[in-house]
Amino acid sequence: MRDLVSEMARRITVNGLQIARNGTALLDVPHLTLNGPGPTLILGPNGAGKSLLLRCLHGLIAPDKGYVEQDGVPLNADHKARQAMVFQQPVLLRRSVAANLDFVLKRQGLQRVARKTRIADLLAQGGLEGKARQAARSLSGGEAQRLAILRALALDPDTLFLDEPTSALDPGATQVIERMILRASEGGVRIVMVTHDIGQARRLASDVVMMQGGHVVEHGDARQVLDDPKSDASRRYLAGGLVT
Ligand SMILES: Nc1ncnc2c1ncn2[C@@H]1O[C@H](COP(=O)(O)OP(=O)(O)OP(=O)(O)O)[C@@H](O)[C@H]1O
């Protein structure tokens, strides 16, 4: 059960974030505050800098300049221990489905009986009850992504970062994963997710960060950004036009 301190540790702030490679600016975000509590969806065209921003938020990439804070404190090891990330291509161990979950739970110090109960609970959450003994690498794309999300949730994270988790999946598999994400959000997990899919942003987002060319061009309430965007770049992206 999340305690009061972690309930509060959800305000993510970006200050003067800059990343450049070979003299080219890839990310330039002077200021961004994600307050939650509902899912934040990061939207924008290819190469907009969505993944770079997400990786910076999770602490996977150190920016050239600037920093990320959580609840007014620079991102530190404690924060990182309370967050998880799911990638577009699920990264799974060469073990059974259950063993992938067991690996994470063991590292958290759970005893065998508690792990068994938790694994059964997680598998039920992801609709993978019948797959416990199957090799994780033989799962379908949708099942593998469900397992990757369950493994992230097994860490009991305060914040879950997801980078286009459904971009390779069909509508049915996408719907299952969206339900998992919403359930996690309702259970108190802070969700920050990258997507290309405007429909997905409509279904999931409480707030939307719109990016283009390494910049945040707009951030606000999902309905406002999606239905009444303020920037030309957002308007063109949402209208399906070319954004350069
Ligand atoms: N390590 C790197 N070295 C050089 N350029 C990089 C590096 N990482 C990312 N980039 C560039 O930074 C830009 C932003 O990349 P990023 O992956 O964040 O985009 P994105 O918005 O997530 O795009 P997509 O929707 O296509 O995944 C791209 O032009 C990419 O080529």
Q: What ipTM is given for this predicted complex? A: 0.96
> Which atom of ligand 1 lies at the shortest distance from residue 49's CA?
18
Q: Ligand 1 centroid to 193 CA: how many Å?
A: 16
Is the Cβ atom of 55 under 6 angstroms away from ligand 1? no
Cα–Cα distance measured from residue 29 to residue 20, given in angstroms and rounded to the nearest whole number = 12
Per-residue pLDDT, 159: 95
230 lines ligand 1 (CB under 6 A): no
Q: Phi/psi of residue 201, each to 5°? A: -60, -40
Closest atom of ligand 1 to CA, residue 19: 12
Q: Does domain 4-92+139-238 have CATH number 3.90.930.60?
A: no
Distance 26 CA to ligand 1 centre (A): 7
Q: Walk along the chain (244 residues) and give the pLDDT tens digit of each residue.
A: 444 444 454 799 999 999 999 889 999 999 999 987 899 999 999 899 999 999 999 999 999 999 999 988 999 999 999 999 999 999 899 999 999 999 999 998 999 999 999 999 999 999 999 999 999 999 999 999 999 999 999 999 999 999 999 988 889 889 999 999 999 999 999 999 999 899 999 999 999 999 999 999 999 999 999 999 998 989 988 888 545 4
Is the C-beta atom of 26 inside 6 A of ligand 1?
Answer: yes
Ligand 1: nearest atom to the Cα of 196: 25
Q: How far away, in angstroms, is 53 Cα from ligand 1 center?
A: 10
Q: Which of 42, 52, 58, 61 to mutate to test the pocket of ligand 1 (most atoms within 8 A of CB)?
A: 52
At 240 the pLDDT is: 81
- The residue whose CA is least distant from atom 9 of ligand 1 is 52
CA-closest residue to ligand 1 atom 3: 21
Instruction: Strands of the chain (E only): list them.
Output: 12-21, 24-34, 40-43, 65-70, 73-74, 83-86, 159-163, 190-195, 207-212, 215-221
DSSP 8-state symbol, 95 = S
Please, where in the chain does CATH 3.40.50.300 lie? 4-92+139-238
Cα separation, 188 vs 199, whole angstroms = 23
Quick check: 136 and 95 in contact, CB under 8 A? yes
Beta carbon of 49 within 6 Å of any ligand 1 atom: yes
**64 CB near ligand 1 (under 6 Å):** no
Put residue 214 in one of left, alpha, beta given phi > 0 → left and psi -120 to 50 → alpha.
left
